[in-house]
Structure 1
Protein backbone atom coordinates (compact mmCIF):
# COMPACT_ATOMS: atom_id res chain seq x y z
CA UNK A 1 0.00 0.00 0.00
CA UNK A 2 1.19 3.48 -0.77
CA UNK A 3 2.12 5.81 2.07
CA UNK A 4 0.28 9.08 2.61
CA UNK A 5 3.27 11.11 1.39
CA UNK A 6 3.47 9.03 -1.82
CA UNK A 7 -0.27 9.58 -2.44
CA UNK A 8 0.20 13.33 -1.95
CA UNK A 9 3.06 13.31 -4.46
CA UNK A 10 0.89 11.40 -6.95
CA UNK A 11 -1.90 13.96 -6.53
CA UNK A 12 0.55 16.79 -7.24
CA UNK A 13 1.95 14.99 -10.30
CA UNK A 14 -1.53 14.28 -11.69
CA UNK A 15 -2.58 17.88 -10.99
CA UNK A 16 0.48 19.29 -12.79
CA UNK A 17 0.24 16.91 -15.73
CA UNK A 18 -2.04 16.93 -18.75
CA UNK A 19 -3.74 13.66 -17.81
CA UNK A 20 -7.39 13.74 -16.74
CA UNK A 21 -7.67 10.36 -15.04
CA UNK A 22 -5.27 8.16 -13.06
CA UNK A 23 -5.87 4.64 -11.69
CA UNK A 24 -3.44 2.66 -9.49
CA UNK A 25 -4.12 -0.89 -8.34
CA UNK A 26 -1.82 -2.96 -6.09
CA UNK A 27 -2.45 -5.89 -3.74
CA UNK A 28 -6.21 -5.39 -3.60
CA UNK A 29 -5.99 -1.61 -3.09
CA UNK A 30 -7.17 0.82 -5.75
CA UNK A 31 -6.58 4.55 -6.09
CA UNK A 32 -8.50 6.46 -8.74
CA UNK A 33 -8.02 10.18 -9.44
CA UNK A 34 -9.91 12.31 -11.96
CA UNK A 35 -9.44 15.92 -12.94
CA UNK A 36 -12.27 18.08 -14.21
CA UNK A 37 -11.54 18.87 -17.82
CA UNK A 38 -13.48 20.32 -20.72
CA UNK A 39 -11.26 18.75 -23.39
CA UNK A 40 -12.81 16.07 -25.57
CA UNK A 41 -10.99 12.85 -26.23
CA UNK A 42 -10.66 12.01 -29.90
CA UNK A 43 -7.75 9.55 -30.04
CA UNK A 44 -5.90 7.43 -27.53
CA UNK A 45 -2.71 5.63 -28.55
CA UNK A 46 -0.80 3.71 -25.86
CA UNK A 47 3.00 3.75 -25.72
CA UNK A 48 4.53 1.04 -23.49
CA UNK A 49 7.61 1.83 -21.36
CA UNK A 50 9.30 -0.14 -18.59
CA UNK A 51 9.43 1.81 -15.33
CA UNK A 52 12.41 0.86 -13.08
CA UNK A 53 11.28 2.57 -9.87
CA UNK A 54 8.99 0.51 -7.60
CA UNK A 55 7.08 3.65 -6.60
CA UNK A 56 5.84 4.15 -10.17
CA UNK A 57 2.14 3.42 -10.70
CA UNK A 58 1.06 0.24 -12.44
CA UNK A 59 -0.61 2.11 -15.30
CA UNK A 60 -1.14 5.68 -16.40
CA UNK A 61 -3.45 6.44 -19.26
CA UNK A 62 -3.78 10.02 -20.42
CA UNK A 63 -6.65 10.93 -22.73
CA UNK A 64 -5.83 14.02 -24.77
CA UNK A 65 -7.12 16.06 -27.66
CA UNK A 66 -6.44 15.11 -31.27
CA UNK A 67 -3.15 17.04 -31.22
CA UNK A 68 -1.18 14.66 -28.93
CA UNK A 69 -1.49 10.91 -28.26
CA UNK A 70 -2.03 9.52 -24.78
CA UNK A 71 0.79 7.82 -22.89
CA UNK A 72 0.46 4.56 -21.02
CA UNK A 73 3.27 3.52 -18.68
CA UNK A 74 3.22 -0.07 -17.54
CA UNK A 75 5.51 -1.33 -14.83
CA UNK A 76 6.43 -4.93 -15.28
CA UNK A 77 5.51 -6.77 -12.12
CA UNK A 78 8.25 -8.77 -10.40
CA UNK A 79 7.88 -12.53 -10.24
CA UNK A 80 5.10 -12.60 -7.64
CA UNK A 81 5.32 -16.34 -6.94
CA UNK A 82 9.06 -16.23 -6.23
CA UNK A 83 8.68 -13.15 -4.03
CA UNK A 84 5.72 -14.67 -2.21
CA UNK A 85 7.62 -17.89 -1.50
CA UNK A 86 10.62 -16.01 -0.09
CA UNK A 87 8.56 -13.65 2.08
CA UNK A 88 6.17 -16.41 3.20
CA UNK A 89 8.99 -17.96 5.27
CA UNK A 90 9.92 -14.61 6.85
CA UNK A 91 8.43 -13.04 9.97
CA UNK A 92 7.42 -9.39 9.67
CA UNK A 93 8.02 -7.19 12.69
CA UNK A 94 5.34 -4.52 12.38
CA UNK A 95 4.80 -1.17 14.01
CA UNK A 96 2.30 -1.37 16.88
CA UNK A 97 1.44 2.32 16.48
CA UNK A 98 1.72 5.42 14.34
CA UNK A 99 4.94 7.29 15.08
CA UNK A 100 8.54 7.97 14.13
CA UNK A 101 10.96 5.05 13.62
CA UNK A 102 14.37 5.24 15.29
CA UNK A 103 16.98 2.56 14.61
CA UNK A 104 19.14 3.49 17.63
CA UNK A 105 18.57 4.69 21.22
CA UNK A 106 20.35 8.02 20.56
CA UNK A 107 21.44 9.77 17.36
CA UNK A 108 25.14 9.03 17.98
CA UNK A 109 24.67 5.40 19.12
CA UNK A 110 24.92 2.28 16.95
CA UNK A 111 21.70 0.86 15.51
CA UNK A 112 19.92 -1.84 17.49
CA UNK A 113 19.92 -4.28 14.55
CA UNK A 114 20.82 -4.35 10.87
CA UNK A 115 20.54 -6.94 8.10
CA UNK A 116 22.36 -10.06 9.28
CA UNK A 117 21.88 -9.39 13.01
CA UNK A 118 20.76 -12.28 15.21
CA UNK A 119 17.75 -11.51 17.43
CA UNK A 120 15.82 -13.28 20.18
CA UNK A 121 12.17 -12.82 21.15
CA UNK A 122 12.98 -10.14 23.72
CA UNK A 123 15.65 -8.29 21.68
CA UNK A 124 14.91 -4.61 21.14
CA UNK A 125 15.06 -3.91 17.41
CA UNK A 126 14.02 -0.23 17.29
CA UNK A 127 12.10 2.58 18.94
CA UNK A 128 8.83 4.06 17.71
CA UNK A 129 8.22 7.52 19.15
CA UNK A 130 4.61 8.60 19.49
CA UNK A 131 3.48 11.75 21.33
CA UNK A 132 6.91 12.21 22.97
CA UNK A 133 6.86 8.62 24.30
CA UNK A 134 9.66 6.35 23.11
CA UNK A 135 8.35 2.79 22.74
CA UNK A 136 10.89 -0.02 22.46
CA UNK A 137 9.86 -2.62 19.88
CA UNK A 138 10.90 -6.23 20.47
CA UNK A 139 11.69 -8.84 17.82
CA UNK A 140 8.87 -11.24 18.84
CA UNK A 141 10.80 -14.16 17.31
CA UNK A 142 14.24 -15.80 17.42
CA UNK A 143 16.09 -15.50 14.13
CA UNK A 144 18.17 -13.36 11.80
CA UNK A 145 17.19 -9.93 10.46
CA UNK A 146 17.02 -10.24 6.67
CA UNK A 147 15.97 -6.69 5.79
CA UNK A 148 15.26 -3.35 7.45
CA UNK A 149 12.23 -1.95 5.61
CA UNK A 150 12.21 1.64 6.93
CA UNK A 151 14.76 4.42 7.33
CA UNK A 152 15.82 6.12 10.54
CA UNK A 153 13.51 9.05 11.32
CA UNK A 154 10.80 7.85 8.93
CA UNK A 155 7.14 8.15 9.91
CA UNK A 156 5.50 4.73 10.22
CA UNK A 157 1.86 3.66 10.26
CA UNK A 158 0.11 1.16 12.51
CA UNK A 159 0.79 -2.36 11.21
CA UNK A 160 3.49 -1.22 8.76
CA UNK A 161 6.26 -3.83 8.40
CA UNK A 162 9.56 -2.59 9.86
CA UNK A 163 11.81 -5.65 9.59
CA UNK A 164 11.86 -9.04 7.87
CA UNK A 165 13.27 -11.80 10.10
CA UNK A 166 14.19 -15.35 9.10
CA UNK A 167 12.98 -17.44 12.08
CA UNK A 168 15.23 -20.15 13.53
Structure 2
Protein backbone atom coordinates (compact mmCIF):
# COMPACT_ATOMS: atom_id res chain seq x y z
CA UNK A 1 0.00 0.00 0.00
CA UNK A 2 1.41 3.40 -0.91
CA UNK A 3 2.21 5.92 1.81
CA UNK A 4 0.21 8.63 0.02
CA UNK A 5 -2.89 6.44 0.22
CA UNK A 6 -2.31 5.71 3.92
CA UNK A 7 -1.74 9.41 4.64
CA UNK A 8 -4.94 10.29 2.77
CA UNK A 9 -6.89 7.68 4.77
CA UNK A 10 -5.46 9.04 8.03
CA UNK A 11 -6.56 12.53 7.04
CA UNK A 12 -10.07 11.31 6.18
CA UNK A 13 -10.31 9.43 9.48
CA UNK A 14 -9.26 12.52 11.45
CA UNK A 15 -12.00 14.61 9.77
CA UNK A 16 -14.77 12.05 10.23
CA UNK A 17 -16.77 10.73 13.18
CA UNK A 18 -15.25 7.27 12.74
CA UNK A 19 -12.84 5.98 15.36
CA UNK A 20 -11.58 2.90 13.53
CA UNK A 21 -10.91 1.91 9.92
CA UNK A 22 -9.97 -1.53 8.58
CA UNK A 23 -8.80 -1.95 4.98
CA UNK A 24 -7.46 -4.98 3.12
CA UNK A 25 -5.98 -4.89 -0.38
CA UNK A 26 -4.62 -8.28 -1.39
CA UNK A 27 -2.07 -9.27 1.28
CA UNK A 28 -1.87 -5.73 2.69
CA UNK A 29 -3.94 -5.08 5.81
CA UNK A 30 -4.32 -1.62 7.36
CA UNK A 31 -5.99 -0.80 10.68
CA UNK A 32 -6.29 2.84 11.75
CA UNK A 33 -7.63 3.63 15.23
CA UNK A 34 -8.36 7.10 16.55
CA UNK A 35 -8.99 7.97 20.19
CA UNK A 36 -9.23 4.36 21.31
CA UNK A 37 -7.33 2.39 23.88
CA UNK A 38 -3.93 1.25 22.63
CA UNK A 39 -1.78 -1.66 23.75
CA UNK A 40 0.88 0.87 24.80
CA UNK A 41 0.74 4.61 25.31
CA UNK A 42 1.37 6.63 22.14
CA UNK A 43 4.71 8.42 21.79
CA UNK A 44 4.56 12.02 22.99
CA UNK A 45 4.56 14.63 20.19
CA UNK A 46 6.97 17.56 20.15
CA UNK A 47 5.61 21.08 19.94
CA UNK A 48 7.21 22.03 16.64
CA UNK A 49 7.26 20.84 13.03
CA UNK A 50 9.84 20.73 10.32
CA UNK A 51 8.97 23.04 7.43
CA UNK A 52 11.99 22.59 5.17
CA UNK A 53 11.87 20.06 2.31
CA UNK A 54 13.63 16.78 2.79
CA UNK A 55 16.50 16.35 0.33
CA UNK A 56 16.97 12.62 0.82
CA UNK A 57 13.95 10.34 0.98
CA UNK A 58 15.82 7.03 0.67
CA UNK A 59 17.31 5.07 3.49
CA UNK A 60 20.67 3.44 3.49
CA UNK A 61 22.06 0.74 5.68
CA UNK A 62 25.50 1.65 6.94
CA UNK A 63 28.11 -1.09 7.27
CA UNK A 64 29.28 -1.93 10.75
CA UNK A 65 32.16 0.18 11.96
CA UNK A 66 35.26 -1.96 11.44
CA UNK A 67 36.86 -0.54 14.58
CA UNK A 68 33.93 -1.86 16.63
CA UNK A 69 34.26 -5.50 17.58
CA UNK A 70 31.07 -7.47 17.08
CA UNK A 71 29.51 -8.27 20.46
CA UNK A 72 27.99 -11.63 21.27
CA UNK A 73 24.72 -12.21 19.42
CA UNK A 74 22.66 -12.23 22.62
CA UNK A 75 23.72 -8.69 23.56
CA UNK A 76 22.69 -7.02 20.28
CA UNK A 77 19.32 -5.30 20.14
CA UNK A 78 17.88 -3.91 16.92
CA UNK A 79 15.73 -0.88 17.71
CA UNK A 80 12.91 -0.66 15.15
CA UNK A 81 10.64 2.19 14.14
CA UNK A 82 7.38 2.25 16.12
CA UNK A 83 5.61 4.18 13.35
CA UNK A 84 5.60 5.35 9.73
CA UNK A 85 7.11 8.72 8.84
CA UNK A 86 10.32 10.63 8.17
CA UNK A 87 13.18 9.91 10.57
CA UNK A 88 15.35 12.74 11.90
CA UNK A 89 18.40 12.33 14.15
CA UNK A 90 17.90 15.81 15.73
CA UNK A 91 14.89 17.70 17.07
CA UNK A 92 15.30 20.62 14.67
CA UNK A 93 17.37 21.54 11.61
CA UNK A 94 20.93 22.44 12.58
CA UNK A 95 20.66 20.93 16.07
CA UNK A 96 23.07 18.25 17.27
CA UNK A 97 21.86 14.66 16.82
CA UNK A 98 20.32 13.03 19.88
CA UNK A 99 22.80 10.11 19.69
CA UNK A 100 25.91 9.11 17.75
CA UNK A 101 27.62 5.77 17.23
CA UNK A 102 29.22 4.87 20.57
CA UNK A 103 26.75 6.88 22.69
CA UNK A 104 25.69 5.19 25.95
CA UNK A 105 21.88 5.17 26.14
CA UNK A 106 19.35 4.41 28.86
CA UNK A 107 15.73 3.26 28.61
CA UNK A 108 13.52 6.26 27.89
CA UNK A 109 16.33 8.31 26.31
CA UNK A 110 15.43 10.03 23.02
CA UNK A 111 17.15 8.46 20.01
CA UNK A 112 15.54 10.61 17.30
CA UNK A 113 12.21 11.90 16.05
CA UNK A 114 9.78 10.76 13.37
CA UNK A 115 7.63 13.26 11.52
CA UNK A 116 4.19 12.14 10.38
CA UNK A 117 1.51 14.56 9.21
CA UNK A 118 3.59 17.58 10.36
CA UNK A 119 3.82 16.22 13.93
CA UNK A 120 7.17 15.23 15.42
CA UNK A 121 7.19 12.25 17.77
CA UNK A 122 10.17 11.52 20.01
CA UNK A 123 11.46 7.98 19.61
CA UNK A 124 12.64 6.68 22.98
CA UNK A 125 15.09 3.87 23.61
CA UNK A 126 13.63 0.71 25.13
CA UNK A 127 16.92 -0.74 26.43
CA UNK A 128 20.12 0.44 28.04
CA UNK A 129 23.46 0.04 26.30
CA UNK A 130 25.74 1.49 23.64
CA UNK A 131 24.69 2.55 20.12
CA UNK A 132 26.69 0.36 17.73
CA UNK A 133 25.13 1.41 14.42
CA UNK A 134 22.76 4.03 13.07
CA UNK A 135 21.00 2.19 10.26
CA UNK A 136 19.13 5.02 8.50
CA UNK A 137 20.12 8.39 7.08
CA UNK A 138 18.76 11.63 8.49
CA UNK A 139 15.59 12.54 6.56
CA UNK A 140 14.88 8.96 5.42
CA UNK A 141 11.34 7.65 5.17
CA UNK A 142 10.77 4.71 7.52
CA UNK A 143 7.94 2.26 7.96
CA UNK A 144 6.67 0.50 11.05
CA UNK A 145 9.29 -2.08 12.11
CA UNK A 146 12.09 -0.56 9.99
CA UNK A 147 15.44 -1.10 11.79
CA UNK A 148 16.83 2.25 13.03
CA UNK A 149 19.66 1.42 15.47
CA UNK A 150 21.73 -1.51 16.66
CA UNK A 151 22.36 -1.27 20.38
CA UNK A 152 24.70 -3.42 22.44
CA UNK A 153 22.76 -4.13 25.59
CA UNK A 154 24.45 -4.34 28.93
CA UNK A 155 25.46 -7.91 29.64
CA UNK A 156 24.35 -9.31 33.02
CA UNK A 157 27.23 -9.23 35.52
Change (3 A) 1:130 1:87: farther
Change (3 A) 1:162 1:85: same
- Give structure 2 stretches of 5+ with no counterpart: 3-59, 62-69
Q: Distance in 2 between matches of 1:86 and 1:157?
A: 28
RMSD: 2.4
Higher gyration radius (CA): 1
Structure 2 partner of 1:22: none
- Which consecutive aligned stretches of 4+ in structure 1 deviate over 3 angstroms post-superposition? 84-88
Tell me which of 83, 89, 109 is aligned to 1:123. Answer: 109
- Alignment size in residue pairs: 88
Q: Distance in 2 between matches of 1:148 and 1:85?
A: 16
- Give structure 1 stretches of 5+ with no counterpart: 5-53, 56-83
Tell me which of 132, 136, 139 is aligned to 2:118. Answer: 132
- Tell which has more relative contact order, 1 or 2 (C-alpha 8 A, sep 6+): 2
- Normalising by structure 2, we get a TM-score of 0.52
Structure 1 partner of 2:79: 93
Aligned residues of 2:80 and 2:148 also touching (Cα < 8 A): yes
- Normalising by structure 1, we get a TM-score of 0.48
